[in-house]
Chains A and B, each alone.
Chain A
Amino acid sequence: QLQLQESGPGLVKPSETLSLTCTVSGGSISSSSYYWGWIRQPPGKGLEWIGSIYYSGSTYYNPSLKSRVTISVDTSKNQFSLKLSSVTAADTAVYYCARVTMVRGVPFDAFDIWGQGTMVTVSS
Chain B
Amino acid sequence: DIQMTQSPSSVSASVGDRVTITCQASQGISSWLAWYQQKPGKAPKLLIYAASSLQSGVPSRFSGSGSGTDFTLTISSLQPEDFATYYCQQANSFPPTFGPGTKVDIK
- Interface, chain A (partner B; CB < 8 A): 46-49, 60, 62-64, 96, 98, 101, 103, 106-112, 114-117
Contact = CB atoms under 8 A, between A and B. Distances in A.
B43 A46 contact: no
Given A101-B49, A111-B44, A62 B95 contact: yes
B93 interface: yes
Interface string B44-57: 11100110000100
B49 A103 contact: yes
Q: Is the interface of B mostly helix, strand, loop or mixed?
A: loop
B98 A47 contact: yes
Given A47-B44, A116-B43, A108 B91 contact: yes
Nearest to A48: B98
Contacts of B55: 112
B89 A110 contact: yes
